[in-house]
């Protein structure tokens, strides 16, 4: 039982990784189209988050970088401003592993009465040893999924009001190919029975896709000018892999130099979903390499989507 619970998620996840690397070996990374328009809220002080914020700010957008590293956030804002952007960039603190912090951030943002045209849920971690957040949730589950779930719902009214004149507000959730290996354990979302960092990570990424599709259905049913999409950046050379085992780290370094994408290349798909004119009004998609792709079969299970949504609302107190 223990062996299957730990070994099977590991094999599934690494198999996904191999498939992605083979794809990237024979396919060029997605390149952005011409000038795009929008006005985003973005979370990211480094890696793909920073690259997305930098690119969107270069289009003349007001960028709010939300994260839990104050010094990194200040440095990111400074670098963006040094590039001579037309509008401002700023950093606001948020800790997605704390529901209290998420609520404080949302309340402070709404008090400013700013419009919110794009929300990119980018923050994430991978392969963290078993640990709980201050709220008592498994670390991957709250940071990668539950914190984003709460933040999105708290800002949903602002997103609805901001969508007007035929232009939809946009929600972009950062998933990955590892969601194909994900299994949702509704009776054990925190992985208490038998912990696997591989299983916990892939579950959190599948949860994001399920959340995206259910949210899109709600927005369509209500006639709101809000769209939600999930994006997959491919395998990108970022600090996300810092928690790999020593042997895996050693094997990853030479492979990453050849086959992994740069943070800027990985960020392209988020920028595309956030600002491309051809994505106007197009929601409920799983985007990879600039194309709409089929996500995993479980991600289209409407009953599972609804069950996860209801349970998530209970967990965060909505």
In the predicted model, is pLDDT for residue 39 greater than 50? no
Taking only the tens place, the pLDDT of each residue in 191-239 is: 988 888 888 999 999 999 999 999 999 999 999 999 999 999 877 666 6
Q: Tell me the mean pLDDT in the region 128-146.
A: 94
CA 236 to chain centre: 14
CATH number of 1-316: 3.40.50.720
CB atoms under 10 Å from CB of 205, counted, come to: 29
Q: How are beta strands 286-288 and 291-293 bridged, if at all?
A: antiparallel
β-pair partners for 41: 64, 119
pLDDT tens digits along 300-312: 999 999 999 999 9
Higher pLDDT, 5 or 233: 233
**Proportion of the chain above pLDDT 90, given as a percent:** 48
Asked if 282 contacts 178 with a C-beta cutoff of 8 angstroms, the reply is no
Give which of 2, 122, 118, 145 is closest to 59, Cα–Cα. Answer: 118
String of b and e for 264-285 (b: at least 16 CB within 10 Å)?
bbbbbbbbbbbbbeebeeebbb
Instruction: Compute the distance between CA of residue 198 and CA of residue 128 in angstroms, rounded to an integer.
Output: 9
Q: Are 286 and 292 in contact (CB under 8 A)?
A: yes
The mean pLDDT of 32-56, rounded to a whole number, is 63
For residue 176, CA distances in Å to 34, 225, 312 come to 25, 26, 20
In 3D space, the residue among 177, 125, 204 whose CA is nearest the CA of residue 21 turns out to be 177
Residue 175: both structure tokens together: 């998933």
What mean pLDDT is predicted for residues 175-194?
92
Sign, Cα dihedral of 57, 62, 66, 70: positive
- In sequence order, the 6+-apart residues with CB closer than 8 A to the CB of 236 are 47, 48, 260, 261, 262, 263, 265, 266
Which phi and psi (to 5°) does residue 253 adopt? -55, -55
Residues tagged active-site? 201
Of all residues in the chain, the percent with pLDDT exceeding 70 is 80
- Confidence label for 37 from pLDDT (cuts 50, 70 and 90): very low
Say if residue 34's pLDDT is above 50.
Answer: no
The full set of domain ranges for the chain reads: 1-316
């Amino acid at each position: 039982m223990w062996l299957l619970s730990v070994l099977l998620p590991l094999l599934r996840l690494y198999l996904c990784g191999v498939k992605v690397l083979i794809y990237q070996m024979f396919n060029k990374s997605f390149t952005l189209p011409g000038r795009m328009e929008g006005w985003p809220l973005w979370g990211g002080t480094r890696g793909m988050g920073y690259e997305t914020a930098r690119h969107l700010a270069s289009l003349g957008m007001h960028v709010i970088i939300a994260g839990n590293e104050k010094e990194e956030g200040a440095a990111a804002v400074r670098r963006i401003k040094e590039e001579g952007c037309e509008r401002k960039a700023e950093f606001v603190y948020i800790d997605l592993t704390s529901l209290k912090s998420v609520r404080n951030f949302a309340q402070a943002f709404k008090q400013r009465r700013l419009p919110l045209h794009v929300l990119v849920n980018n923050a994430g971690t991978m392969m963290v040893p078993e640990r709980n957040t201050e709220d008592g949730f498994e670390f991957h589950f709250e940071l990668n999924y539950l914190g984003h779930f709460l933040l999105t719902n708290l800002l949903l009214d602002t997103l609805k009001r901001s969508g007007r004149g035929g232009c939809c507000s946009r929600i972009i959730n950062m998933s990955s190919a590892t969601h194909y290996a994900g299994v949702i354990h509704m009776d054990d979302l925190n992985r208490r029975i038998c912990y696997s960092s591989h299983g916990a990570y892939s579950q959190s990424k599948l949860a994001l896709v399920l959340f995206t599709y259910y949210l899109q259905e709600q927005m369509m049913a209500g006639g709101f000018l809000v769209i939600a999409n999930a994006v997959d950046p491919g395998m990108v050379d970022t600090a996300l892999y810092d928690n790999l085992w020593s042997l895996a780290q050693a094997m990853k370094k030479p492979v990453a130099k050849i086959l992994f994408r740069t943070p800027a290349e990985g960020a392209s798909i988020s920028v595309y979903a956030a600002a491309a004119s051809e994505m106007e009004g197009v929601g409920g998609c799983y985007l990879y390499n600039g194309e709409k792709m089929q996500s995993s079969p479980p991600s289209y299970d409407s009953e599972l989507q609804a069950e996860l949504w209801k349970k998530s609302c209970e967990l965060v107190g909505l």
